[in-house]
Amino acid sequence: MAPTIDGKPILTQKNIVDILTELDIKRGDTVLVHSSLKSLGYVIGGAEAVINAIIDRVGEKGTIIMPTQTIEMSDPSTWLYPPVAPEFWDIIRKALLPYNKDTTPVSKGIGVIPETFRKFNGVIRTSHPLYSFAIWGELARYLNTQELDYGLGKHSPLGKLYLKNNNAKIVLIGTDFESNTSIHLAEHYLNRKTIIQSSYVLKNLKKSRVIF
């Protein structure tokens, strides 16, 4: 019987490496990772162990991409979960800090693994205030471009992965296909209705609203 803590399986970094190997993740692979640490059970070493296991599998010639989205940086008039009463919109707008790719934490729903990954040595984070990605490895500089408009479209890291046609793999760790960010690239190519959004960034050391 596999060891457990409070009924949850115990996993080591080596266990995760072995699982990734069984999933045919190889040296040099490009992987787009979506994850839920709590769904894995008890991971010795936590998020760092998971990240190190992925790095171990893809190696120096591989590339790891994780969504590091910050949806709460959007305009409060668009919030739905939960919605905010209009009388509070201006209060929130004034209090929102501008997006900083080095310090702005990922949204809670994105998970602790991407939040840990964005701070790893060698990781580059894109500059989109809502739909950023953290990237490590061989293709990091190539993928580190992202226009404000259509942040998950053809000029995003997702779009560049598609155009690169290097057989990138989508890895779902403790999540289901609904977490798959690349679905939004497909929506872009299907010409779905354009949604106007806004957020705040730093321009000339001042908080500035951007619309896209």
Question: Tens place of pLDDT for every residue, the chain, 212 residues?
Answer: 567 777 778 999 999 999 999 999 999 999 999 999 999 999 999 999 999 999 999 999 999 999 999 999 999 999 998 999 999 999 999 999 999 999 999 999 999 999 999 999 999 999 999 999 999 999 999 999 898 998 999 899 999 998 887 789 999 999 998 889 888 888 877 877 888 999 999 999 899 999 99
CB count within 10 Å of CB 173 equals 21
Token pair in block for residue 80: 């739905």
Which class for 18: exposed (0-12), middle (13-18), buried (19 or more C-beta within 10 A)?
A: middle
Whole-angstrom distance, CA of residue 128 vs CA of residue 131: 5
Strand pairing partners for 125? 134
Over the stretch 121-171, which tens digit does the pLDDT of each residue have? Answer: 999 999 999 999 999 999 999 999 898 998 999 899 999 998 887 789 999
Instruction: State how far the Cα of 57 lies from the Cα of 162, in Å rounded to an integer.
Output: 22
Distance, CA of 155 to CA of 198 (rounded, Å): 18
Torsion of CA 33, 37, 43, 45, to 10 degrees: 80
Give CB contacts under 8 A, 24+ apart, made by 204-210.
207/97, 207/98, 208/98, 210/129, 210/148
Q: Which domain holds residue 98?
A: 4-211
Specify the amino acid at residue 199: S
How many domains is the chain built from? Answer: 1
Of 173, 194, 180, 169, nearest in space to 58 by CA: 169
**Residue 205 corresponds to which tokens in the numbers above?**
């050391």
pTM, to two decimals: 0.92
Task: Report the C-alpha dihedral over residues 13, 14, 18, 21, rounded to 10 degrees.
Answer: 70
